[in-house]
Structure 1
Amino acid sequence: MNPYLRLLTFLIPLLLQGISPLFSKDGYKLWLQYHPLESPQKVQRLMGAIRVEGDSPTLAILKKELQLAANGFFDENHPLAFDYQEESARLIISKRSPQRWDPADKGSLGREGFRLLQNDAGAIWIAADTDIGLLYGTFKWLQLMQAGQSIPAAGFHSEPKIQRRILNHWDNLNRTVERGYAGASIWNWHRLPDHIDQQYHDYARANASIGINGTVVTNVNANALVLTPEYLEKAAALADVFRPYGITLYLTARFSAPMELGRLPTADPLDPEVQEWWKKKAEEIYQYIPDFGGFLVKADSEGQPGPHNYQRSQADGANLLADALKPHGGIVMWRAFVYSEDTPDDRAKQAYQEFQPYDGSFRDNVIVQVKNGAIDFQPREPFHPLFGAMPQTPLMMEFQITQEYLGQATHHVFLPSLYTEVLQSDTYVNGPGSTVSKVIDGSLHGYSLTAMAGVANIGTDRNWTGHHFHQANWFGYGRLAWDPQTSPETIADEWLRLTFTNAPEFIKPVKKMMLQSHEMAVNYMTPLGLHHIMAWSHHYGPGPWVTDRHRDDWTATYYHKASENGVGFDRTASGSNALEQYAPELQEKWGNLQQIPEKYLLWFHHVRWDHPLKSGRTLWDEMALRYQKGVDEARENVATWQNLQSHVDEERHAHVLSFLKIQAKEAVWWKDACLLYFQQFAQSPLPDGVEPPEKNLEYFMGIRHRYVPGN
C-alpha cells in the first residue's frame, strides 16, 4: 500500500472520533491546559473587551497568556484586543492609582501582591502595584475561570507570605541531574548563550503561574566552572529569559573556587586574598547579571569543601560570601546540611551542633537553608530542631520535590501533605502555636529575610516530571511557598481542575487518592518512625540490611538498630539525647513511650517487638499490618484510576496507569523484603491479614539495580 494511503487509513478514523494525534495531551502544558469552559459565555464577554494599561516585557507576556487562554477556553482562534477605553472595557488590568481604587484599602500590595475586583456592572479589575503583580493576578484570574469559580463579592486579595520562593536544580553542567528522575537537565549549556530553547520560556511561565520567583540552575555539589566568564555569559542568557516573569537567577558557589579558578594557595575565609578574590568575582557576576540573586552553598558535607578545612565556623564561611555580595544586593543561602568526616553518635544532631551556637553571628544577607528534617528527606521525619532555635538568624525551609526516597519517578506521592505536616508542626519555642511556618515566614522571630527552597523534579521528559502526578508536587510547592497556610485539600482540588477536568465524579476519587498517598507510601516503606532503610547509594527500593560501609551513617542498620531486643533509634536521654534539641514540651511528650505519636515512635525510641501499641497489637504485628495496608491502598489506586478512563485522555490515562501498577508491584517488594528482614529479629509469625512473601530474604538481598537514574 502507498505509505500516504496507509497514513490516511490511520488518521481518518481518529479524526472522525474527534481525536487528533498531532495535539495529544502529553502533559507538556502542565496545569496551564486551558481546556474549553463548560459555560464560556460570561468569560467570553469579559475577554471581548480588555484594557491592559502600560507597556513592558512583562505585560507583553500577560497579553500573550490571555490570548492562549482565550483560544483554549473557547476552543477556537479567538483574537483579543487590549486597548478598549476604560468605560467600555469588561476586563481592566492596571496598576493602581488613587482615583481607581477602593478608598477603604490604602495599603500597598508590595512588589508581588494583587487584587481582583468585580464591580456592579460585572466588569473585572485586576490591580497591582507592579507589572509582576499584574502577571500573578492575571494567572490567578485565569485559573479561577478554568476551575469554574467566581471572584468573591468582597474581591480577592493575595500577597506572598514568603519573600523568596525558589527552585533548587541539582543539575550538572554536563546535563546529568543528581536525584533527577525525569530525563536530562533542561539547561543545554553547550548551546547557550546563542540558542534559547522554547522550554526555558515555558519553564519560566509555569513558575510564574504559581508564584515561584527564583531559581538556582546548578547543583549544590558545585562545579566552579559556572563562575567563569564562559558560563556567566550563558547564565546571563537564562537570566534574561526569566526576568520578565519575575524570576531571579542564583548560582551555586564552590567554596574552593579561589584555588581552582584563582590559583590561590588557600580558600580560608579569613585570608585577605581570598576575601578580595570573592569581592572581584561578585563584581564580575553583576556585570553579566545586574539583578543576580546570590549564592547557594553546600559546604563541609559529602566531600564538598568548606570552612572546616581551615578550622573556621560556618558563620565565617557564609560571611565571606555575604560581604562580597552585599554591595550589589545579593544574598547567601548557606545550607545547614553539614556533617563531619567522622561518623557521629547521631547524625540527626549534627546540623544543630554546627549552627545553633553561632546564632546572631551571620551577616544580615545570609539565610541558613535547613532541610525539613534532621536526616535527609525521609518519607517522614519530625521537623528539624533548628527551626525555632535560631531567633537571630533567618532560616529558610528546604523541601525535596524530587522523590529521592519516595519511589523516585514511578511512585505517586502527593508531597504537599508531607510539607504541610512539617509546616504546621509546633516548635513551642515561644509557647503553643509557634509553628514551623511562622518561623520561616518571619513572623515568629521578626526575620527581615524569608525564603523557601524546593529541590526540583524537572527534566526533559515531555511531561516535565516523569510521572504526570508529580506535576502536582511542583505546583503544590509553589502554592505553599506563596502561602504556607494553604491546605493540601485546596491544592489537590485546584491542580486536578486545572490539569484534567472539573467533573466531580473524577475530582472526588482522585483527590482522595492524592491526599492518602503520602501516608500510604510511609506505610509500605517506613512505618512507625523507621527511616533511611533504602537501598545503598541510589536509594531505589528497600535495603534494611545495608551495613558495613565506609560511613556507618550511610547504612540502614545505623538507623534502625534491629535486634532480638527490639528496633528503633533511641534519641532520648538514655540514648543519643537528640531529643534535647527540641523544646521542653516536645521532650516531655516525645520522650514518653505512652505519649509520643506513633508515627515518630521508632525515630526516638528503641522498642521491644512485643511492646503493645494503641491498637492493642504488638509492635511487630502493627508494623506488619501497616506494610500490608500500604500495599492494599496502592492496589486500590490502580482500580480507582482504571475506572476513570472516560474522564481522561487516552495518553495520560495509560501513562499514569502503568506507573500506578509499578507502584503497587514495588509496594509488595518493600513489604516482603522489610518484613522478612525484621522477622528474623522479631521471631514471630506474620499476623492474620498479612500476605506471606513469595520469595525468601536471600532473593531480595540479591537484587542489584544498575544505572538507576539520578545517582
Structure 2
Amino acid sequence: MYKPIFLAAVLWFCISLNSLADDGYKLWLDYQPIQEAELKSEIELLLGGVYFFGENPTFEAIKNELGLASKSMLEKAPTYTEDRLQNTRLWIGTRAQLSQVLSLTKQTEIKALGTDGYWRGTVELDGKAFYAIVGNQPVGVLYGVFNWLNSIQSNTFDKSTELSDAPKINLRMLNHWDNLDRTVERGYAGFSIWDWHRLPGYIDPRYIDYARANASLGINAVSLTNVNANALILTKDFMKKAKVLADVFRPYGIKVFLTARFSAPIQLEGLKTADPLDPEVISFWKKKADEIYSFIPDFGGFLVKANSEGQPGPHEYGRNHAEGANMLADALAPHGGVLIWRAFVYSHEDDVDRHMQANNEFVPLDGKFKDNVIIQIKNGAIDFQPREPFHPLYGAINQTNVGMEFQITQEYLGQATNLVYLAPMWEEVLKSNTYKPSPTSTVGSILEGDETGQKKTLIAGVSNIGTDRNWTGHLFAQSNWFAFGKLAWDPEAPSEEIAEEWIKLTFGQDPEVVSAIGEILMGSHEAAVDYMTPLGLHHIMGRSHHYGPGPWVTGGRADWTAPYYHQADSLGIGFDRTDAGSGALDQYAPEIAKQWSDPNQIPEKYLLWFHHLPWDFKLKNGDTLWEEIAYHYDRGVKEVREMQETWASLEPKIDPEEFDHVRQLLNIQQEEAEWWRNACLLYFQTFSKRPFPTDIEQPEGDLEYYKSLMFPNAPGI
C-alpha cells in the first residue's frame, strides 16, 4: 500500500515547486519554456491529447512528470483523453498494451530491449498517425518519457525519427555513505537527505525529487547507508523507515539496498559468533532476510564491506570471502535478492603492496561465489585517486559476477570546492584494454557481461548528494551525478556528449554557453591531476580528511602515509611495481606488464605509479622528470585560471545566483591549486635538490607553514 504515500509526496512537491529559486535545486529537470515556435506547436499538439494504456503507480509518476514539464515549457497542463482515437496525439503504454497497433516486427524489436528498454516513434491506426512511447514494462515507459522530455529540452526531438534504447548494465546503483545520525562519510553537500528521526511518519518531498532525478538517468537501485555499516539499520524500527523510502521510490523503478554489518548476529541477537558457517549465524541471516522482505517485498539485497579498514568479516573466523558472501547470498536467494561484496580489502598487517592485496584475496576464489553474488571492484587498486590505472581484478576473475564502483563524491579531487568533471576519468577506465579474457576486452565490455556470460551486472557510484539546496555542494558537481547515470546505462557513452547534454538541460541552448562550459568541463579533470598528482603520483593528500596536500604525512600504519606511495628520496621518486619492486604489474595481462615495465613505453600519466625513477630521468619531450613534475603543477594552476576567465565571460548569459556561486568556488579552487603546487614542489625539492624551471611561476610560501596546517573540522570525516 504505497500509492497514498507516493501521491501525498507528489502533492507536497507540486505545492512547493513554484517557489524554488534558480539555485540549482531543479537539477537537469528545469524544464525551460520552449522558444522555437515550430517545436512548441508540435509539443502543444502532442500534450494536448495524451492517452495512457492502463493505470499503475509508475504511470502516475509519468503523469506527474508530464504535468511539471508541460506547465513549465508551455504554461499549460497536459490534456488526457479516454478516447485513444478521436482526440489522442500521444500514446503511452507497454508493448503488451499497444500490441494491436504494433507490427510483429516492431513487437519483436521492442521485446528484445528487455525490462528497462523503450521505443518511441510514430505508429498508424485507421489512417491516423500517433506518437507512441512504449516499453516492455512500465519502468521502460518511464525511461522513454524522460528521454523524450530531454530531447525537447535539448531541441533534438524529431517526430519522424524512431528511437530505441536499453541499458547495458542491470543494476545502476547509487551507494550512499550516509550514517544514521545524518552525517555523510566523504559527503560535501550538507547532511544526509534521509531524515531517519522523522521517518516513517514524515515524508520529505525531497525524496520524490531524488527519485525523479535518478529515474531520469536510468538509475534503478540505491544503497541507503554507509558501507562502514551500523547494525541498527537491520532492526525492525529501521525496516519500517526504509519501507517508506522503498514505497516512494518504487514507482520510479528504484530498488532499496541496505548495508549489512557482518557482526550483526552478535550485536543484534547476542550470539557469541558471526562465523558464516555457524548454524545459528546462518539461521539469523535467513530470518533477518525474511523479515526485511516482509516489509519491502522488492528489497534489492545487501551491500557488504568486510575485513577492510577495521570492518568485521569472515577472516576473523578463519573463513574466506566466498564463504562469507555465500552465506548472506543464500539468505537472500529465496527472495531473488542480490549480495554485493566489496573487493576493497587490504590489511596493514600484510606487508604486500596494497595495490596487490585485492587480487591476492579474490583471484583464488574465482568461481566459488554463488550466482547471486556480485564482487564490487573500485576503478583502481588504491582508493579513488585523481587518476589510477584500472584495477587488475578486471579480467583476472571471469567466473564470478563483477561490478564497478566509481566515486561520484570528490573525496580526493578537491571535494565540493573544486570543479572537476569526472566522466573523462571514468571513460578512460572503461575503455582501458585488459587483454583478458580476450585480446579486445575492455573494462567496460567485461562489466557488460557478454564476454564472461555474467548474468548480473552492476555499476555503482558513491553518492555526492546532500541537503544543500543544489544537492551536490558545487553546482557543477551535478554533472558528475548526471554523467554517472549515463555511463551506468551505457559504459560506451562519450563523456563529451554527456557533458553537452547536461549543459543544455541545465543552462539552455545558447551555443556560446554550451561551447564555453563544455571547454571548462572537458579540461577540468586533467587540470586537477596536474595540480594534485601528476605523472602517476598518488595518495599524497592530507591525513584523514583528505583535504589538500600532505606528501609529508607519516606515522601510524604505513599504507595510510604518503611516503609509502611516492617513495621520494635523494635518488628519485615513484613506487616501483615492476619485477624489481613489488611485482604488482604481473597482476595485469602480459601485454600490459611488458609495455608498462619499460619507463620509456608506459603512458606517462602512469609513470610514477609503477616506477621509481631518478630526478634526471629524461622524458619523451626531453625534459627531466623533476622539470616535468614542476611543469605539470604549474600548468594545473594556469588551467584553473583559464577556467575562471572562461566562466567570467559568461556572466551576462548565466542566472546571477548560479553565476556567483560558481565564481566564488572557482576563486577557492585557484587558491587551492596554488596551495597544492607550492606545498608539493617545495616538499619534493627537499629531495631533488634541484632548482625550479625558470619559465614557471615560482612556488611561494614556507614549507613548514604548509605542513603545520590542520583541518580538524573538515567535512566528510
TM-score of the two chains, using structure 1 as the length reference: 0.95
| CA distance in 1 between partners of 2:292 and 2:385 (Å) | 36
Displacement of 1:688 in angstroms is 2.7
SS of the residue corresponding to residue 460 of structure 2 reads strand
The question of 1:604 aligning with 2:610 is answered yes
Aligned to 1:480: 487
Cα contact 1:269–1:320 (8 A) shared by 2: yes
C-alpha separation in 2, matches of 1:177 and 1:52: 41
- The question of 1:698 aligning with 2:704 is answered yes
- 2:174 matches 1:163: no
CA distance in 1: counterparts of 2:480 and 2:544, whole angstroms: 24
**Is 1:496–2:503 an aligned residue pair?**
yes
SS in 2 for 1:629: helix
Give the 5 Å matches for 1:248-287.
248-287=255-294
Q: Which residue of 1 aligns with 2:10?
A: none
Query: Residue 115 of structure 1 corresponds to which residue in structure 2?
Result: 119
- State yes or no: 1:415 paired with 2:414: no
Q: 1:27 aligns with which of 24, 45, 52?
A: 24
Alignment of 1:50-449 (within 5 A): 50-74=50-74, 76-96=75-95, 97-105=98-106, 106-107=108-109, 108=111, 109-118=113-122, 123-151=130-158, 153-449=160-456
**Residues 562-614 of structure 1, C-alpha deviation per residue, up to 9 Å, x if partnerless?**
01110000000000000010000000111111110000000000011101101
CA displacement at 1:171 relative to structure 2: 0.2
State whether residues 528 and 602 of structure 1, in contact with CA within 8 Å, keep that contact through their aligned partners in structure 2: yes
Partner-residue secondary structure (3-state), 1:226:
helix
Distance across 2 between alignment mates of 1:259 and 1:517: 47
Structure 1 counterpart of 2:591, one-letter code: E
- Deviation (angstroms), 1:340: 2.2
| TM superposition shift of 1:87 | 4.9
Q: 1:624 and 1:494 mapped to 2: Cα distance?
A: 36
Amino acid across the alignment from 1:584: P
Unaligned runs of 5+ in 1: 1-19
Equivalent-residue separation in structure 2 for 1:498 and 1:432 (angstroms): 39
**Partners in 1 of 2:495 and 2:640 — Cα distance?**
20
Match 1:587 to one of 585, 589, 593: 593
Aligned identity (percent) is 55
Shift in CA distance, 82/603, structure 1 to aligned 2, threshold 3 Å = farther
CA contact (8 A) 2:398 2:437 kept: no
Partner of 1:38: 35
Whole-angstrom distance in 2 between the partners of 1:235 and 1:45: 41
Q: Residue 172 of structure 1: SS of its match in structure 2?
A: coil
Distance 1:533-1:172 versus aligned 2 partners, 3 A rule: same
Describe the SS at the equivalent of 2:573: coil
Give the Cα separation in 2 of the matches to 1:183 and 1:483: 30
CA separation of 1:261 and 1:85: change in aligned 2, threshold 3 A: same
Determine the structure 2 residue equivalent to 1:12.
none
Structure 1 residue 494, shift from structure 2 partner = 0.3
- Give yes or no for the alignment of 1:630 onto 2:636: yes
Q: CA deviation at 1:706?
A: 2.4
Contact kept, 8 Å, 1:67 with 1:80, in 2: the verdict is no
SS in 1 for 2:91: strand
* Matched length: 690
Moved more, 272-281 or 93-102: 93-102
Distance between the aligned counterparts of 2:237 and 2:160, measured in 1?
Answer: 54
Alpha-carbon separation, structure 2, partners of 1:533 and 1:244:
44
User: How much does 1:111 deviate?
Assistant: 1.2
Q: In 1, distance between residues paired with 2:596 and 2:24?
A: 43
**Which AA in structure 2 matches 1:90?**
R
For the residue of structure 2 that corresponds to 1:261, the secondary structure is helix
TM-fit CA distance, 1:433? 1.8
User: 1:129-167 deviations in whole A, cap 9, x for unaligned?
Assistant: 111111110000000000000248551110110000010
Contact 2:131 2:159 in 1 (8 A): no
Query: Offset of 1:45 from its aligned partner?
Result: 1.8
Contact in 2 for aligned 1:117/1:151 (Cα 8 Å): no
Write the deviation string for residues 656-692 of structure 1: whole angstroms up to 9, x where unpaired: 1111111111100000000001111111111133111
The separation in 2 between residues aligned to 1:354 and 1:165, in whole angstroms, is 26
Return closer, same or farther for 1:122/1:570 CA change in 2, 3 Å cut-off.
Answer: farther
Contact 1:635–1:664 (8 Å) recurs in 2: yes
Deviation at 1:648, TM superposition (A): 1.1
Equivalent residue number for residue 553 of structure 1: 559
Q: 1:78: Cα distance to partner?
A: 3.4
**1:440 partner letter:** L
- Call closer, same or farther: CA 1:153–1:581 in 2, change over 3 Å: farther
Asked whether the equivalents of residues 47 and 78 of structure 2 are also in contact (C-alpha less than 8 Å), the reply is no
Does the aligned pair in 1 maintain the 2:348–2:559 contact within 8 Å?
A: no
Distance between the aligned counterparts of 1:63 and 1:422, measured in 2?
38
* Amino acid aligned to 2:80: A
Q: Is the CA contact 1:501–1:647 (under 8 Å) kept in the aligned structure 2?
A: no
Matched, 1:564 2:565: no
Equivalent residue number for residue 468 of structure 1: 475
Which residue is equivalent to 1:10? none
**Which residue in the other structure is 2:12 paired with?**
none
**Rounded Cα–Cα distance in structure 2 between residues aligned with 1:352 and 1:194:** 46
Question: Aligned letter for 1:677?
Answer: Y
- Alpha-carbon spacing, 1:122–1:636, altered in 2? closer, same or farther (3 Å): farther
- Within-5 A mapping of 1:661-672: 661-672=667-678
1:98 aligns to what SS in structure 2? coil
Give the whole-Å Cα distance in 1 for the aligned partners of 2:161 and 2:643.
Answer: 40
Task: State the distance in 2 between where 1:375 and 1:197 align.
Answer: 37
The alignment partner of 1:99 has SS state of: coil
Instruction: Give, in angstroms, the shift of residue 88 of structure 1.
Output: 3.6
Q: Deviations over 1:292-321 (max 9, x none)?
A: 110000000111000110111000100110
Q: How far off its partner does 1:22 sit?
A: 5.3
| Matches of 2:640 and 2:174, distance apart in 1 | 29
- Deviation sequence 1:21-79 (CA, Å, 0-9, x none): 955201110000001112122211221121121101110110111111111112x2435
Shift of residue 360 of structure 1? 0.4
